[in-house]
Amino acid sequence: MNVSEANIEVIAIPLADIEPNPDQPRKFFDETKLEELAAQLRSVGQLQPIVVRPAGDTFQIVMGERRWRAMHLVEGATTIEAKVVSSVDDENAFIMGISENIGRADMTLMEEAQAYADLVGFGYQAERIAEMFGKTTDYVKWRMDLLNLTTDIAELVAEGKIKADFAWYLSKLTPANQKVAVTRYMKGDFRTETDASTFAQALRMKENQEGFFSEKELSDKEKEDKAKERKQATSKVDQVERAGALLEELAKVTPTELAELFEGEVGKQLDAVERVRKAAAEAVKKLRKAKAMSEAKQLTVRPELEVEPEAEDGEVEQEPSETEIAEAAAEEPSETELEAAA
């Protein structure tokens, strides 16, 4: 059911005669945003009525709790315009409340996750929930995975101290390993969000005993071969560093100078450097994963580790990563990531 299908009446209702829905999916309301909305109400008035339903001698909010809260901040305001919907049951009131809040910046990840889980409690499948709110099925399932986080870590996610992508990878870990990863994260041990997520993935591989180093005892010949391989690989990295220094020098030359230097062959030189760039990017991905695996393998899990930061002013500002850019666009892992981490 939607509002247009119900019996609707619009009236001015005293603010004191209206109460919020205790099952409202959103629990956090940003005070700054409420004051901004109150300023708008003072300036241009109420442009859109809230939606309520009868609840005995009072009314219960179905949609528009932000407007109701903001109206309380408007000096002299005693009433608010409201559509009275007389034929909405608890389930449909909850669905309408979610519809209003999904996608709002001040609805936390955990509130959204719980809202979807509550709909599952009403008997809805993830596919149907996704269809109702214009999301993908994977997105809905991913959000609900966040409910596997420990209570203290879920609070950090709700407060915005842990970002969405890393939070999802954390949700796939045991409680003890969640704390291991978050402790490092809050201390600023990771340069980027991608590094943090990669470390969480490595911990999960450790839990599942997947893709880690062989534990078998090497023969003398195998040890010798391994030492030779390590030496060769180290030598290649040394050569990469020298090539990097040459590229840094090249980057200092102006486009005009490059055009003169490589006259007639600029495209050829560009293609050569582009091949190096792509190979370097792929190598960085694999080395990042290797670093995370090495660190995860050496860890001794201590469930008592604290997850809160030691000091507020000790936080490390992290540079934006490709993962963060993807989050800003859709805030969900790709299907490839979901399949790889499942």
Catalytic residues: 65
Alpha-carbon span 172 to 149, nearest angstrom: 8
Helical segments of the chain, H only: 31-44, 65-71, 90-101, 109-121, 126-133, 137-145, 151-158, 164-171, 175-186, 193-208, 220-251, 255-261, 266-298, 322-330, 335-341
Q: What's the one-letter identity of residue 92?
A: N
Helices 109-121 and 126-133: crossing angle in degrees, nearest 10, is 120
The token pair at 48 is 């859109």
Q: Cα–Cα distances in Å, from 308 out to 41, 180, 301?
A: 39, 12, 17
Alpha-carbon span 110 to 143, nearest angstrom: 8
**Contact yes or no for 142/166 (Cβ under 8 A):** no
Residues belonging to the chain: 342
